[in-house]
Amino acid sequence: MVWEFNFALPHGYTAGVDEVGRGPLAGPVVAAAVILDPQNPIQGLADSKALSETKREQIFPEICEKAISWALGRAEVEEIDDINILQASLLAMQRAVESLSVQPQLALIDGNRCPQLLCKAQAIVKGDSRVKEIAAASIIAKVSRDREMRQLHEAFPQYGLDSHKGYPTKRHIQALDEHGVAVIHRRSFGPVKKRLRR
């Protein structure tokens, strides 16, 4: 894959930042920040949405092993309901960057908004398919959140979280109608709010 941008800096590190979980009705929003090692390239990097679940799981440990630093950040359901999903996503990204063991000089953010960071930040629309650092972050965030949703499925099997990961599928909506709203659900989201009013 030919990457559209190459932000290698003469001094300092560049982190790619992406989040996953803005659309679901349940669970946290999870962000990842990744600083890749130019001397230790990773084959097969791509936007996580363009990769199969099997491929994401295969490349995940290689990113963890070869990256100079990587970290996760998150915002919980209560925070999403309190400050809205956009602000919660930015907060999760901020927490991911702040959790890196090595602080970057530049953070490349997927999307059109940047969180408040101590370093310079640049938003790149569709960055997960244009910048390898963001692609790596998208894979780390996606695999991490999917694993967590499978664990939540064990505690709340009635909602089918292992298959849809909390997204508003027909099966999930039907489960909300049958079993009601649980603590894992985002009460500020329309389909959940609607069922709380009944």
Q: Indicate the length of the chain as a whole number.
A: 198
* CA–CA distances in Å: residue 124 to residues 93, 100, 102, 164: 14, 20, 22, 28
Residue whose C-alpha is closest to residue 110's, from 85, 87, 88, 93: 93
Res 24: pLDDT: 98
Q: Residue 75 forms beta bridges with which residues? A: 29
Could you read off the pLDDT of 32-62 as tens digits, one per residue? Answer: 999 999 999 999 998 899 999 999 999 999 9
Which domain covers residue 122, as residue numbers? 14-148
Q: Which residues contact 18 (CB under 8 A, 6 or more apart)?
A: 31, 32, 48, 93, 109, 110, 127, 128, 134, 137, 138, 141
Could you say which residues of the chain have pLDDT below 50? none
Structurally, how many domains does the chain consist of?
Answer: 1
Whether residue 193 lies inside any domain: the answer is no
Question: Which pLDDT does position 72 carry in this prediction?
Answer: 98
Cβ atoms 143, 165 nearer than 8 A: no
Write the CATH number for 103: 3.30.420.10
Give the per-residue pLDDT at 1: 58
Tokens matching residue 39: 């001397």
Please check whether residue 179 lies inside any domain of the structure: no
Overall pTM > 0.75: yes
